[in-house]
Structure 1
Amino acid sequence: MRKEQNMKKKITALLLAAVMMVAAFMGCGKAEGKAEEPKETGKAPIDVNIMALKGPTAMGLVEMMENSDYNFSIAASVDEVSPKLLQGGTDIAAIPANLASVLYNKTEGDIQVLAINTLGVLYIVENGETIQSAADLKGKTIYASGKGATPEYALNYILSSNGINPETDVTIEWKSEHSECVAALASQENAVAMLPQPFVTTAQTKNPEIRTALDLTKEWDALQEGEEKKSSMITGVVVVRKEFAEENPEEMQEFLKEYHTSVDYVNENVTDAAQLIEKYDIVPAAVAEKALPACNIVCIDGEKMEEKLSGYLEVLKAQNPQAVGGEVPNHDFYYIQ
């Protein structure tokens, strides 16, 4: 009898153990299902690789660099960024506005613009008091760098729109580096130069006699007052690989939301933002703090982005179609949610 009882107890114990194992296995199955649930609903975190260039186009990103989980890298030249973007090594990049158009045409539409991130950063500076308006540039020698690129096209547009022929009414001395323009300012009385920020601030730190005479962004805007389709002088934009954007619409929405927050932070907290700008090896904090108010850092997306950027690219194309890659991009160039 005891043997039978012991046998029944053993069988019962084995059955209980088997039931517990099945329950445990089912429990594990449920736990794994829960772990994978975010992927099924598209909420699993994904790696987002972002590149930016040293200078104003990267400055508006620094709050995100500090507080987000995106993978950021800072490049010294567009030559580093373009191959990464085209080969899928980076998903989002801050690049010159006209380069975005060139890459769109080169890839037949594989690049889209998410936002304008920097308006004009070009300024006319002088070692004197002779320039009070664009009209005062007539007859002057202007030292500048950026021949064959957007600085030349922007300057020509400002001059010609103010009745000044860039070929005959002024002498433009093109230099290979900004430092050569600064040297000319220092050595010649009443010399005039076109310089970008933050280089203007760097130059003024070394030579307090250098005066900012004209903000070419404001000069451009003044010329747009009577235009039905208004454009803006634009330095930089943020672009995305179209394939990545289509595969991750929620991520794009979140990125733009965080980017607006970051730009607002940088513009409203200049001193703290300058420290972050130095931390991420963009420019020294002392330069950044003085230059930020003049760097025109923005985050303009949607239809307003398309209006401003398409108009700007039309101006460049009128001077040199190759500046925009041959053609001004179509509507699908603009990422509009």
Structure 2
Amino acid sequence: MKKMIKYFCLFLLILCSCNRGKKENNVFHVAVLRGPSVIAFAKMIEDSPEIDSKRLSVDIVDSPEQMQALLIKSEADLAALPMINAANLYNKGLKYSLLGCPVWGNLYIVEKKEYNAPSQGTNTLHIFGAGTTPDILTRYYLKQKGLTYSLNYSFSTPQEISQGLLSGQIRTAVMAEPFLSLILRKDSTLYIKSSLNNPDSTSPGFAQTAIVYAPSLQGKSTILDSLLDESCQFAVNQPEQAIKILENRNIFVPGSLTPESIERCQIKYLSTKEAKRSILDFLRLIEKYEPKAIGGKVPNDGFMPEKQ
């Protein structure tokens, strides 16, 4: 009797294992780095659309390091991550190709209203992410505008800078959404001084976010472009619904997103073909200021293949 129970349990384990494998075979895994990119995927998260009878399952990734590990292990078919990370990984031999860009800027300089800048000397500007997109775009903006600040990197995350602004330790800082909207609601003496997101009047912004795909989705660019465009338009045109989806799934804490914060993320899906010039301009800018951030050079044509 004991032997029969043992064999029965073994049979159940094998059966469950087979079922898990079968389920995995019917899924395309989409990894999205937590932040503004997730907003662009709200509709896709809700609808779980299918491609060739395979469901697109969206998983939220909490850090660039976790995202890198997923891509190295080929555990994601589609991924949304910072453009500089995508270029860096490609230059290091990870052959995920660029599909498009959904987020075109979420960085702003914020300041206390009652703050009186010194008439002589240099103002202090706090920045997070030394050597990353916020740092590079801040330096570029200041140079373009001929502004002089002493850059302070002692607060290394948006959360730390938020706390510093609210406590009065910081007077002027670079902030990103959705943290920006939170502190603006909590402290009426804070205001947006400048946007760091518009290189010129003809550009949609800086191509800060990349969507890359694995060989498993080769030849699916047309339907992916359509799904991503639809999801981005949903976030922009129905922000309250997008917020509701993300809060109901505990992706964002209730109250952390507003229609204004979504607007300030500059969400607009453009395929690689549509945005190639803007993407190259952004990568060349990064190469000029911080080449190691993208692996030392602008990626070759294989990163943005003409035929997808």
1:139 aligns with 2:139: no
Instruction: Identify the match of residue 331 of structure 1 among 288, 301, 304.
Output: 301
Provide the rounded CA distance (Å) in 2 between the counterparts of 1:284 and 1:83: 26
Aligned positions, number? 272
Confirm or deny: 8 A CA contact 1:112 1:334 kept in the other structure.
yes
In structure 2, give the amino acid aligned to 1:278: E
1:148 aligns with 2:148: no
2:18 corresponds in structure 1 to none
Provide the rounded CA distance (Å) in 1 between the counterparts of 2:168 and 2:74: 48
Using a 3 Å threshold, how does the CA distance of structure 1 residues 186 and 262 change in structure 2: closer, same or farther? closer
Confirm or deny: 8 A CA contact 2:181 2:258 kept in the other structure.
no
1:122 corresponds in structure 2 to 107
Provide the rounded CA distance (Å) in 2 between the counterparts of 1:48 and 1:124: 38
| Greater CA drift, 282-291 or 118-127 | 282-291
In structure 2, give the amino acid aligned to 1:234: A
Compare CA radii of gyration and give the structure with the larger one: 1
SS at match of 2:255: helix
Residue 92 (structure 1) shift: 0.6
1:163 corresponds in structure 2 to 146
Confirm or deny: 8 A CA contact 2:104 2:207 kept in the other structure.
yes
1:270-285 aligned within 5 A: 270-285=239-254
Provide the rounded CA distance (Å) in 1 between the counterparts of 2:163 and 2:241: 32
1:100 corresponds in structure 2 to 86
In structure 1, give the amino acid aligned to 2:250: D
Alignment RMSD: 2.4
In structure 1, give the amino acid aligned to 2:72: L
Using a 3 Å threshold, how does the CA distance of structure 1 residues 140 and 71 change in structure 2: closer, same or farther? same
1:305 corresponds in structure 2 to 275
Residue 188 (structure 1) shift: 4.4
SS at match of 2:80: strand
In structure 1, give the amino acid aligned to 2:32: A
1:213 aligns with 2:193: yes
Instruction: Identify the match of residue 216 of structure 2 among 228, 244, 264.
Output: 244
Provide the rounded CA distance (Å) in 2 between the counterparts of 1:89 and 1:332: 21
In structure 2, give the amino acid aligned to 1:54: R
Provide the rounded CA distance (Å) in 2 between the counterparts of 1:89 and 1:186: 40
Residue 335 (structure 1) shift: 4.3
Identity of aligned residues (%): 22
Residue 46 (structure 1) shift: 4.8
In structure 2, give the amino acid aligned to 1:70: L
In structure 1, give the amino acid aligned to 2:40: G
2:44 corresponds in structure 1 to 64
Provide the rounded CA distance (Å) in 2 between the counterparts of 1:233 and 1:294: 13
Q: Deviations over 1:190-217 (max 9, x none)?
A: 9211000111011122222211111111
Q: Deviations over 1:220-245 (max 9, x none)?
A: 235xx6xxxx794232111112x223
Q: Which has the higher helix share?
A: 1
Provide the rounded CA distance (Å) in 1 between the counterparts of 2:204 and 2:46: 33
Using a 3 Å threshold, how does the CA distance of structure 1 residues 278 and 189 change in structure 2: closer, same or farther? closer
2:21 corresponds in structure 1 to none
SS at match of 2:37: helix
1:6 corresponds in structure 2 to none
Provide the rounded CA distance (Å) in 2 between the counterparts of 1:327 and 1:231: 24
Provide the rounded CA distance (Å) in 1 between the counterparts of 2:110 and 2:206: 18
Provide the rounded CA distance (Å) in 2 between the counterparts of 1:281 and 1:335: 36
Q: Deviations over 1:26-74 (max 9, x none)?
A: xxxxxxxxxxxxxxxxxxx952110101110111111011112311111
Using a 3 Å threshold, how does the CA distance of structure 1 residues 244 and 172 change in structure 2: closer, same or farther? same
| Greater CA drift, 264-273 or 209-218 | 209-218
1:182 aligns with 2:154: no
In structure 2, give the amino acid aligned to 1:171: S
Instruction: Identify the match of residue 229 of structure 2 among 240, 243, 260.
Output: 260
In structure 1, give the amino acid aligned to 2:165: L
2:7 corresponds in structure 1 to none
Using a 3 Å threshold, how does the CA distance of structure 1 residues 177 and 325 change in structure 2: closer, same or farther? same
In structure 1, give the amino acid aligned to 2:96: I
Confirm or deny: 8 A CA contact 1:232 1:309 kept in the other structure.
no
Provide the rounded CA distance (Å) in 1 between the counterparts of 2:287 and 2:276: 16
